[in-house]
Amino acid sequence: MEEQARPRIMELLIPHKEALVLILLLVESWNLADCYDPLDPNGNITVTFDIFQWTQEGYMARVTIQNYYQYRHVEIPGWSLGWTWAEQEVIESMAGALATQQGDCSRYKYRTLHCCKRDPVIIDLTPDAAPENRTANCCHSGILSAWAIDQSTSFSSFIMVVGGLDPKAAPQKPQNLTFLAPGSGYTCGPFEVHTPTVFSVVEGRREEQAFKTWKSACTYSSFVANNAPACCVSLSTFYNPKITPCSVCSCGCQASGNERPTCVGDSEMKRLPGDDNSVGCSDHMCPVRVHWHVKSNYIDYWKVKVTVSNYNFASKFSNWNLVIQHPAFGQRTLSHSFNSTGLATVGNMDEAAIFWGLEYYNKELLQAGDKEPGSVMTEMVMHKDPESFTLRNGWAFPRRVYFNAEICEMPMPDDFPRLPNTSSRPSNACYLIFILSFLILLFH
């Protein structure tokens, strides 16, 4: 009974739900300024440093980089890991990765050491690395899959022989860990002592234990990364001929000072005047656009077609993923031609799902050609929950969309395609609420 009464009260309180959506969007974008991601609150990249053997002047250690992010992956050209040694350590040899610089090893007369730098930087080996330089599960060119997509390729590990230590002294934790993937954005905590890692050996019939285990978690913050927006969302429906394009200059229009740019060319792929365009010219100026089309509505289910377009002339995405938040993902959803899985969200958030390409079919989102953007598309069949399903008030559109873990700019709810015959202008009360909420946020 109460459940049914509630929506009516909401309707009385708020003359236009669009205003509510707008306020919620503003409040949520405020939250996003923190590095807390409600769709992936525990995500991090954990670096584990396991000492498993003592040597004359040091020890042997295995370093494992595990990506626990549900939908944030590490792409080509891959990760690089750096730290500062606390003492006079050197890396005598290494397998499964390499230090980018050897540094000054001149004080070691009779041996060739791998790296004598106080602040080594380590990168992964390529898949064609020689057998003697490999370790188990190594050599993926620094690529780490997202945890929700493929756990078996979501980590890297390498082994190193560390020397240069006083045999009597206890080993010290490496300091000031840095993780680049390959740009900045990650901040790593200090190494902390952990319960020793247990390795299974002899095909799982015996367990061995590390002598010492240190762990550090590196977390991503878009504030630290400070990337320009790279993706926007456009919308259309079967019941309204209006197409809501991406907002003008969603991804910034540097050349024209945030005015609609003047594009040249007559195909879908236009260019900015000038010779060196890496991204096609459009009103939104985004390298990637996600289009959501509400295609049909039946008694038990409804269909949406989603198209992802790449406007980059030179770069393709070889392991793209798309996260979409929409209440309908709580119901059974079938997506043709994309692989997908649900994403556990926290609190009373709407459901979210993650989509990625099928092997040998559309795992790559190609670069743009001369005439049209590179694209991948899917048709989703969503089962209806008659209690919540509606085509009114923009319910059928996604709440949030992320491409490769970067949030996509949504059009303003006022511009969403509407059902025919609903009032088209928000009332003054609605603007008042909007302006008030904006002021509150401003002085928050």
Report the nearest approach of ligand NAG to the CB of residue 435 (Å). Answer: 30
Helices (H), 168-301: 222-225
- Span interacting with ligand NAG, options 54-62, 125-133, 290-298, 429-437, rule CB under 6 A: 125-133
User: Which residues 60-89 are close enough to bind ligand NAG by CB under 6 A?
Assistant: 68, 84
Residues near ligand NAG (CB under 6 A), total: 20
Binding mask 16-45 for ligand NAG (x = CB under 6 A): --------------------------x-x-
- Going through 1-89 in order, the beta strands assigned E by DSSP cover 45-55, 58-67, 80-84
User: Which residues 145-174 are close enough to bind ligand NAG by CB under 6 A?
Assistant: 149-150
- Span interacting with ligand NAG, options 127-135, 320-328, 371-379, 431-439, rule CB under 6 A: 127-135
Please list, in sequence order, all residues whose beta carbon lies within 8 angstroms of the beta carbon of residue 388, skipping any fewer than 6 positions away: 327, 395
Is residue 128 a contact residue for ligand NAG (CB under 6 A)? no
Angle between helices 17-32 and 2-13 (to 10 degrees): 90
Q: What are the counts of helices (DSSP H) followed by strands (DSSP E) for the chain?
A: 4, 23
Please list, in sequence order, all residues whose beta carbon lies within 8 angstroms of the beta carbon of residue 167, skipping any fewer than 6 positions away: 56, 57
* Cis status of the peptide bond prior to 77, with omega within 30 of 0: yes
Residue 100 or 176: the one with the smaller Cβ distance to ligand NAG is 176
User: Which residues 368-427 are close enough to bind ligand NAG by CB under 6 A?
Assistant: 421
Distance of CA 111 to the CA centre of its chain: 43
Q: How far apart are CA 49 and CA 11, in angstroms?
A: 56
Is residue 278 a contact residue for ligand NAG (CB under 6 A)? no
Is residue 337 a contact residue for ligand NAG (CB under 6 A)? no
Q: Are 213 and 50 in contact (CB under 8 A)?
A: yes
Report the nearest approach of ligand NAG to the CB of residue 207 (Å). Answer: 21
Encoded amino acid at 48, one letter: T
Interface pick for ligand NAG out of 133, 178, 375, 437 (rule CB under 6 A): 133
Report the nearest approach of ligand NAG to the CB of residue 106 (Å). Answer: 18
Phi, psi for residue 239 in degrees, rounded to 5: -100, 0
Is residue 178 a contact residue for ligand NAG (CB under 6 A)? no
Q: Is 257 helix (H, G, I), strand (E, B) or coil?
A: coil
User: Which residues 296-325 are close enough to bind ligand NAG by CB under 6 A?
Assistant: none
Q: How far apart are CA 303 and CA 238, in angstroms?
A: 10
Q: How far apart are CA 156 and CA 153, in angstroms?
A: 8
Q: Are 313 and 265 in contact (CB under 8 A)?
A: no
Measured from each CB, the residue nearest to ligand NAG is 130
Report the nearest approach of ligand NAG to the CB of residue 336 (Å). Answer: 12
Q: Is 61 helix (H, G, I), strand (E, B) or coil?
A: strand
Residue 110 or 360: the one with the smaller Cβ distance to ligand NAG is 360
Binding mask 198-217 for ligand NAG (x = CB under 6 A): -------------------x
Is residue 123 a contact residue for ligand NAG (CB under 6 A)? no
Closest CA to 233 of 22, 402, 21, 23: 402
Interface pick for ligand NAG out of 16, 62, 72, 114 (rule CB under 6 A): 114
Footprint on this chain of ligand NAG (rule: CB under 6 A): 42, 44, 46, 68, 84, 94, 98, 114, 130, 132-133, 149-150, 175-176, 217, 339, 358-359, 421
